[in-house]
Amino acid sequence: MKLKIIGGLLLALALLYYKLGELRFALLGAAVALLVASFYAAKWAFIPRSELPRNRVRHQRLRLYLYLHPGRGHATWWELHREWSRRASYKRATQVRPS
């Protein structure tokens, strides 16, 4: 079964090479490779994973450098503002001097 599929793919690639020529076949291959690479990059950037990456520090630094969402379990801007702003500390504290 696998041999038939591989043979069919090789035959289709040979026919494409024959019809398109060497340069256009190479351009088509480069375009397909670029499309697949951009798909995997978009998947990595926008779809969160359920498991932790192997090197978490490098992964986190790269995501922060690219201004992507840091991942599950991290606070959003609004949550940080709500918990750590001047107003939040003023609401929690009993003896606070307002500025």
Domain span at 75: 52-99
Per-residue pLDDT for 99 more than 70? no
More confident residue, 26 or 74: 26
Do 20 and 58 lie in a common domain? Answer: no
pLDDT for 67: 80
Number of domains within the chain: 2
Q: Each residue of 64-98: pLDDT tens digit?
A: 888 877 777 777 788 888 888 888 877 777 766 66
Q: Which two tokens stand for residue 55?
A: 């090197």
Q: Which two tokens stand for residue 87?
A: 């107003």
More confident residue, 49 or 14: 14
The alpha carbons of the chain give a radius of gyration, in whole angstroms, of 26
Do 28 and 68 lie in a common domain? Answer: no
Do 60 and 40 lie in a common domain? Answer: no
Per-residue pLDDT for 7 more than 80? yes
pTM of the predicted protein model: 0.53
Do 58 and 37 lie in a common domain? Answer: no
Check: CB of residue 88 under 8 Å from CB of residue 82: yes
Q: Which two tokens stand for residue 81?
A: 């503002």
